[in-house]
Structure 1
């Protein structure tokens, strides 16, 4: 009987190749935010999931044996997204870890980034990948973490930037980071490692770093790509290229969104060469990088099914705020303390009232917000409230607020999802939205001072 894999991030570069490579050996459940319209490949079961929703994620993982996690949140999903991609990734990984535990999955396999081994402070992008890794492995489901640098193959977004730079710039004055060493690896070599890790208990709770056999700089990769594309390019280094300028340079000439490019560029200062600590756990016949480049240039990624357009609320808001929690209070304690602190902070001007089921916030007798505690979905480490009313709320059937403990109570995340404000959008953005961020920052400081 085939094992059943659930694939989060199925529509991305690696996800598409996993489906193509493993569909004959495993039953695959592919996850997507959008509902499938037409699926010519009937071997694949597509499930619609909102990974910000715990209940949706739990349902999506039902019946699976192994989960593969390829999710990164560097693109916003609502009209206003208050929060960094690092905090959002942390929340999504925590949802997935909890859902895997509830469904009694045998293993999670996660593809992250190589941890740098140089003198530089780790970039936010790579630190986020490491935090996601720790979060996915923080519960009973065994985690196999695969850490890789740049992966080359048809459809790869990072290598697409390289090819666009070569296409668009006959003369390339490159930033200093293009001299950083890395070991690019072919997508099929990465897939080989995935296959060897699936259900392999020897890889449980291990972090396996992987790279190709050839050590090179990013400038070497640009030059090698230009030769393969048969384009003569003058490529040289400019030492005074700032990181900020680098981001715009890569975004404009590499043809990629600045939100996607920015964290990547910050990571490229690092020497991305892998450790061989667990190299005895797998065997790979490594593909020469020239072959990888030629294949990436001349082949297309596997096709996807067609999807329905998402019908999203136009003015939905998401706010994900990480709160440092030095006293290690659980989410239940934080949720109870928040309205008490709010009342004291604003000297009774804002008057919260909680009757055990509903938490209501009043200003001069006017109910601003009404939240309903969802007891059967709440635990000491996660408190869930539905947004059900108040003069500041347009939709009373959509949004929710949650407090959750992360990484053994080191942090608490306070998150608002799919909230639709009643105020006109421009007024909301510069009043209520700004006030919310201000309040969360003050609340974090209060938690740090609390005895």
Structure 2
């Protein structure tokens, strides 16, 4: 009898464990790229109520911290978004993926190239990996786009390009477009209290009178979650905003009232966004790389149009006063964290070049080698030896650089070489997987020529004054060559059409 009871109890225990396991399995798996950002952290906490969450991070130690904290439905996966293989591994088993990434801060000790081009590479990698992993939906947090898209500033145009890039690989994309997000760690919002504390009297250029549509962090998170698996929003770009439409001047005055500070504003009929961004940086200490795009975006009136998702979900949102009070209180009680950007001795260089019609990334890779040998002779020549490219300096037998072609990672539209040796390359390049790539983007309009994780052998200062500048000069010349080739191709095409 006791044996029967014990057996029955063991079976019940197994049944309970099985049910718990099934319950865990049934929770949809969601990944967040940008999980350590201020929106990503808030979204992660909200998703853990209903989903199994994978945070993609460059910090490999996060997974151990998550396990130590007992977050059983949270897994951190190392995924440098500049590395396609790492993102492919990071998105394995994922059903829905959030993309909350921008690259305005440097990603290497020396970063050559525009943040807009870095953004395209990151988005392109993410979308390719999502397609390969069978992700059902990408949800992207972008910025409001004014009606006249031809005159977008660099930051807003980059957000729009990222949206286009994510849509290039068949995975349904939902883009949530917001104005200024009000939260304790929002770089856009944090400028306001910093200005109030530093300058009780302000001269306000005309861009500060442009209309904007602030929205609370809490509302952004709820709207992002509401998009998961909602087929009605697949392939859609959705404008969202709070109940208030304000100018930057009005937000400053309202925030000053909440903070109990006196603030006087004196408008002037001048725009001068470049000078304004330098001035704000000098006063607040906030990075110019973050302030400049904010000021640039405010030269447009950014007001959300019909907000049907909010109507459908009944998330009308907090007022600016409510969201600002929450953000300011959280900022007061939260301990300030040190800047996470460390100084690492690697190089990232990205150049966007025009791709002649009918040509591919594979063609560009071969053509670049031929162009180098022709235009830099007799000083530099490039030899191919068993799938390896040797860049040779006149009179020296050992190559300056050795690049090894990756057949398994290369396609017609994406060519990859690993940096495997040479007099100018540090031995750690093999460990860090330094690489050169040629990648088609934006439906073949451009080719990105990018160096990632390159570690030079030369002393850092000498490298910056010689090899780094030489690379930029070569890429500028090659870009000009491709542009002329594309223009000639267009002229011939027009002649054929007319003929």
- Give the TM-score, by structure 1 length: 0.94
Alignment check: 8 A CA contact 1:27 1:44 kept? yes
Q: For residues 303 and 19 of structure 1, do their structure 2 counterparts lie closer, same or farther at Cα, with a shift above 3 Å needed?
A: farther
Cα distance in 2 for residues equivalent to 1:293 and 1:54: 39
Q: For residues 302 and 14 of structure 1, do their structure 2 counterparts lie closer, same or farther at Cα, with a shift above 3 Å needed?
A: farther
Confirm or deny that 1:423 pairs with 2:438.
Answer: no
Alignment check: 8 A CA contact 1:317 1:416 kept? yes
Q: Which moved more, 1:186-195 or 1:34-43?
A: 34-43
Alignment check: 8 A CA contact 2:54 2:74 kept? yes
Matches within 5 A, 1:54-203: 54-117=84-147, 121-203=151-233
Alignment check: 8 A CA contact 2:207 2:298 kept? yes
Q: Which has the higher contact order (CA 8 A, sep 6+)?
A: 1
Give per-residue Cα distances to partners, 1:128-156, cap 9 Å, x unaligned: 01101111111111100011000112322
Alignment check: 8 A CA contact 2:243 2:316 kept? no
Q: For residues 163 and 303 of structure 1, do their structure 2 counterparts lie closer, same or farther at Cα, with a shift above 3 Å needed?
A: closer
Offset of residue 97 of structure 1? 0.6
Cα distance in 2 for residues equivalent to 1:291 and 1:125: 28
User: Which of 408, 413, 421 is equivalent to 1:381?
Assistant: 413
Alignment check: 8 A CA contact 2:207 2:271 kept? no
Confirm or deny that 1:38 pairs with 2:65.
Answer: yes
Q: Runs of 5+ in structure 2 lacking a partner? A: 1-25, 490-499
Number of corresponding residues: 448
Aligned residue number for residue 290 of structure 1: 321
Offset of residue 359 of structure 1? 1.0
User: Which of 251, 255, 258 is equivalent to 1:221?
Assistant: 251
Cα distance in 1 for residues equivalent to 2:208 and 2:341: 39
Q: For residues 284 and 301 of structure 1, do their structure 2 counterparts lie closer, same or farther at Cα, with a shift above 3 Å needed?
A: farther
Cα distance in 1 for residues equivalent to 2:341 and 2:236: 37
Aligned residue number for residue 402 of structure 2: 370
* Superposition CA RMSD, Å: 2.3
* 3-state SS in 1 of match to 2:377: coil
Aligned residue number for residue 260 of structure 1: 290
Aligned residue number for residue 433 of structure 1: 468
Offset of residue 331 of structure 1? 0.8
Matches within 5 A, 1:238-253: 238-240=268-270, 242-253=272-283
Aligned residue number for residue 496 of structure 2: none
Offset of residue 298 of structure 1? 1.3
Alignment check: 8 A CA contact 2:94 2:135 kept? yes
* 3-state SS in 2 of match to 1:341: helix
Cα distance in 1 for residues equivalent to 2:484 and 2:250: 51
Higher helix share: 2
Aligned residue number for residue 210 of structure 1: 240
- Give the TM-score, by structure 2 length: 0.85
* 3-state SS in 1 of match to 2:449: strand
Higher strand share: 1
Cα distance in 2 for residues equivalent to 1:148 and 1:51: 23
Q: For residues 201 and 356 of structure 1, do their structure 2 counterparts lie closer, same or farther at Cα, with a shift above 3 Å needed?
A: farther
Aligned residue number for residue 315 of structure 1: 345
Aligned residue number for residue 393 of structure 1: 425
* 3-state SS in 1 of match to 2:151: coil
Alignment check: 8 A CA contact 1:154 1:296 kept? yes
Q: For residues 16 and 303 of structure 1, do their structure 2 counterparts lie closer, same or farther at Cα, with a shift above 3 Å needed?
A: farther
Q: Which moved more, 1:159-168 or 1:93-102?
A: 159-168
Offset of residue 116 of structure 1? 1.6
Q: For residues 281 and 348 of structure 1, do their structure 2 counterparts lie closer, same or farther at Cα, with a shift above 3 Å needed?
A: farther
Alignment check: 8 A CA contact 1:209 1:275 kept? yes
* 3-state SS in 2 of match to 1:402: strand
